[in-house]
Chain A
Amino acid sequence: DAGVIQSPRHEVTEMGQEVTLRCKPISGHNSLFWYRQTMMRGLELLIYFNNNVPIDDSGMPEDRFSAKMPNASFSTLKIQPSEPRDSAVYFCASSLGGQGGYSNQPQHFGDGTRLSIL
């Protein structure tokens, strides 16, 4: 079975450029999560969606970051303009989430996008 697919795997760009990270969740999963990992702060949740609707974006660092989920099989995380402090590994995860009831289903992660802003 295909897992969570992220692209690109690596991205190097100059400060000020727009960066778009992409994620395809596991088919049938209805919750999608974007995380960021750095040495200093570890793994942090940025935003998550349930049934394509953003539920909690309190982890999004600032207005330069935006995320969309136009359909159940695709999501993007965009940074515009990018800054060197945005350099990190960005992970996407998906799960079969709750729909008004309880869910204990685990999240499954992609292999991440390693982003370097020069």
Chain B
Amino acid sequence: DAKTTQPTSMDCAEGRAANLPCNHSTISGNEYVYWYRQIHSQGPQYIIHGLKNNETNEMASLIITEDRKSSTLILPHATLRDTAVYYCIVRVATNFGNEKLTFGTGTRLTIIP
């Protein structure tokens, strides 16, 4: 699976949009981009994933560049409860037998009151 690069930490003011970047310059054509977050002492929480089109759900939006070498997770109106470590993971839409996720160090997002 392709390697990802994320900033170590970011701050965002409460109520503003939080934009978390991720570089995945070696991504292959059949690899998806997944975003998870982990709030202290809880299990990782799935946020969103996409292949090449932008995606939106009730939690966030995912913007993937046309060349697919980078993406941005957008939390439209950040709240204090969004303070967490955010992981960007690239994984092939795999067939049977190769479904593991490889977590990097992620971005520690702090929402400032």
Contacts and interface: CB of A to CB of B under 8 A. Distances in A.
B94 A42 contact: no
Contacts of B46: 106-109
B32 A104 contact: yes
B100 A45 contact: yes
Contact of A100 (B42, B51, B96, B105): B96
Interface secondary structure of B, over-half rule: loop
A105 to B, nearest CB: 9
A109 B94 contact: no
Q: Could you say which interface size class chain B belongs to?
A: 20 to 34
Interface stretch (A11-19, A67-75, A77-85, A90-98): A90-98
B67 interface: no
Given A43-B44, A108-B46, A112-B43, A103 B99 contact: yes
Contacts of A56: 97-98, 100
A110 B43 contact: yes
A48 B43 contact: no
Contacts of B105: 42
Given A102-B93, A103-B93, A104-B93, A95 B42 contact: no
A107 B102 CA distance: 12
25 contacts: A31-B99, A33-B101, A42-B103, A42-B104, A43-B44, A43-B103, A45-B102, A48-B99, A50-B99, A55-B96, A56-B100, A93-B43, A95-B99, A97-B96, A98-B95, A98-B99, A99-B96, A102-B93, A103-B94, A106-B34, A109-B44, A109-B45, A111-B42, A111-B43, A112-B42
Interface of B: 32, 34, 42-46, 49, 51, 93-105
